[in-house]
A and B are shown apart, each in its own frame.
Chain A
Amino acid sequence: MKVSIDFVNAPIPAAVEEVVDEGPDVKTFVIRYSRSREVLPGQFVMIFPDRMWEIPISVAHASRETIHLTVARVGRVTSALFRLGGGDRIGVRGPYGRPWPMDILRGRRVLFVVGGLGLAPVRMAIEQLGDVTLVYGARNPSLLLYRNLYRSWEKEGKRILLTVDRPDGEWRGHVGVVTTLLDGNLVKSHDYAVVAGPPIMMKFASRMLEELGMDSDRIFLTLENHMKCGVGLCGHCRIGDRYVCVDGPVFSLSEIRNLEGWASGEVI
């Protein structure tokens, strides 16, 4: 690994510009954050709500001056984040991590298999790629993220297949877990697959993609291990001899299989 970046363990002051409700206990925080490095699809930042500790959050969208972070309220730090509103201060550092392999995916037919909040780390990749099929599932319709974007994505020629586990009265679409939308024809008509979502969903989706004929070198996943630093020093996200924060978070399924020889259990 090449030395290239000096690391100072301190965030940069940033400000919450807007908070957007995405669903029950899910919000998108638009943060004004000046930075020296461009955010690449699949990368994450470390955020610091005052008097807490830094946590990693995937960047869902980025403009020159802002980053969009979609967050579910699940623990102490995210609860502190949910108390912030427009104008409030927040610490940010990054972006960090190995992004989606856009050079490989660009110009190819890419199948995105995504569950729940997993749409956040793939959103920039979907936006930047052309030939895309999104297979997306959530527990219920209110947990499907970015619903106002689907129409514009479809206008760009992207195909979207939605499913929910538990439909409400108004849901007229497919019902079932996301893997019930996968079949051999769909998989064979794509060159690469990108998988993002809860670990259990990624495990079954990536296995099924492989069974349906997608090579493990052509399946990419994003891991969301616990991290305290984001720069390969604190040790928490280590799997085998790899650190999810600097060697990932994006890995190919074949890379993950190699790690399983090391690790004390299944990686996903």
Chain B
Amino acid sequence: MLKRLTWEQVRELLKSLEERGYAVLYPEKNDFGDWFPRQGIPDNWPEDFSNYLFPVLREAVLPSPEPVFRIEDYSPVFHSYGRIAFFGVRPCDATALAYTDAFYLERLFRDKHYEKRRRDIFVIAVACTRPCENSFCRTMDAGPFAGRGFDIQMYPVDGVWYAEVGSDAGREMLSPYPDADEGHLKAWKEEVLERFPLLDREKLRYPIPPSVRKFLADRCFACGGCIWLCPTCTCYNERTPAGMDVVVREQDACLLSGYHRLAKGASLRPTMEDMMGFRYECKLGIGSCTGCGRCSTTCIGYAAMEAYLEKAL
């Protein structure tokens, strides 16, 4: 179902989300040129918005550290941020949310901690009009438009905001607004799509060539930056922080040796090449990569996807 809104009506929709108890977050650029979420109703849509520096949706559903149970009586803790409506989420991050939803909610075990926070999140994706630095989202089927992971997806077309329904909650929020004809939007989408490079997907598969794996391993500083910023990296560790009375889950990184360490200091993957293979197995083999490009932007060693693409394609 497609609707048609003016910018004022978009603001009206965001206000009605606020009235329903949501903290509305929208993108704002800081003094250093990086994008962070700001709470409130935006006066204008920031046309130059590329993407958030951090994967904000992942942080909302999987905070790190996250208290999970009290040591005193082992009673569970369900950490909550309350209701949040994200306006302006990029399609790659909406796709990543769909991926983490499937991982945490649709497999053998359904994580109640994730589920409770996820229920409080409302996603309004805004389709991209030009590719971000280092991104290859179209190749990974995660942009410039999202196919999943949103309640509403909006398309800003010459002053008109087309709005696509992605969930029952989204349908309800859009019900006051007039239906739209898909014709004009379709032509616009075709034009936008042309601006996004489409790489050879067949070469972005696991296993990655050994020479490429070695090239990346030799350059990796094992800082973990690519993993902290990846919207689908959700592996976690568990510990009791010193002086605290709760056990927390916190994000772990498969490019750090501690991730693979066993008792007595043994390791399942003792070399950087082993760990790099493990990471790419997940990102390209299982297919969790959305092509957002954050890993390449943050990598200090030329060992992330940007380097991989150059070597593999």
Contact = CB atoms under 8 A, between A and B. Distances in A.
A234 B240 CA distance: 16
Contacts of B71: 50-51
B235 A7 contact: no
A4 interface: yes
A8 B76 contact: yes
Contacts of A9: 68-69, 76, 111, 113, 249
A228 interface: yes
- Chain A binding surface, main DSSP class: loop
- Chain B binding surface, main DSSP class: mixed
A184 to B, nearest CB: 33
Nearest to A261: B207
B239 A236 contact: no
B48 interface: no
A11 B75 CA distance: 8
B264 interface: yes
Interface stretch (A103-111, A188-196, A201-209, A238-246): A238-246
Interface in A1-18: 1-13
Given A51-B71, A53-B240, A241-B285, A3 B252 contact: no
B237 A234 contact: yes
A75 interface: yes
Most B-side CB within 10 Å, residue of A6, A236, A262: A236
Interface residues of A, number: 42
B238 A54 contact: yes
A36 interface: no
Nearest to B249: A9
B268 A226 contact: yes
Contacts of A236: 235, 252, 259-260
B237 A8 contact: no
B78 to A, nearest CB: 9
A240 to B, nearest CB: 7
Contacts of B141: none
A264 B235 contact: no
B238 A228 contact: yes
A233 B278 contact: no
Contact of A235 (B234, B240, B274, B285): B234
A20 interface: no
Interface in A229-268: 229, 231-236, 238, 240-241, 246, 262-265
A161 interface: no
Interface residues of B, number: 50
Contact of A262 (B73, B113, B206, B273): B206
B264 A10 contact: no
A30 to B, nearest CB: 20
A5 B69 contact: no
A226 B262 contact: yes
A10 B108 CA distance: 17
A186 interface: no
B260 A228 contact: no
Contacts, number: 124
Given A232-B107, A246-B108, A265-B274, A52 B237 contact: no
B264 A74 contact: yes
A6 B112 contact: yes
Nearest to B114: A233
A49 to B, nearest CB: 10
A115 to B, nearest CB: 16
A66 interface: no
Contacts of A233: 103-104, 109, 111, 234, 236
Contact of B285 (A53, A75, A262): A262
A264 B277 contact: yes
Nearest to B277: A264
Contacts of B263: 74-75, 77-78
Interface in B250-308: 252, 254, 259-264, 268-269, 273-274, 276-278, 281-282, 285-286
B111 A262 contact: no
A234 B274 contact: no
A225 interface: yes
A53 B69 CA distance: 11
B109 A235 contact: no
A106 to B, nearest CB: 25
B108 A231 contact: yes
Nearest to B78: A8
Given A10-B68, A10-B69, A75-B264, A3 B106 contact: yes
B108 A8 contact: no
B108 A235 contact: no
Given A91-B74, A235-B254, A265-B269, A51 B108 contact: no
B284 to A, nearest CB: 11
6 contacts: A3-B110, A5-B108, A50-B71, A231-B109, A262-B206, A263-B277
Interface of B: 68-69, 71, 73-77, 103-113, 206-207, 213, 234-240, 247, 249, 252, 254, 259-264, 268-269, 273-274, 276-278, 281-282, 285-286
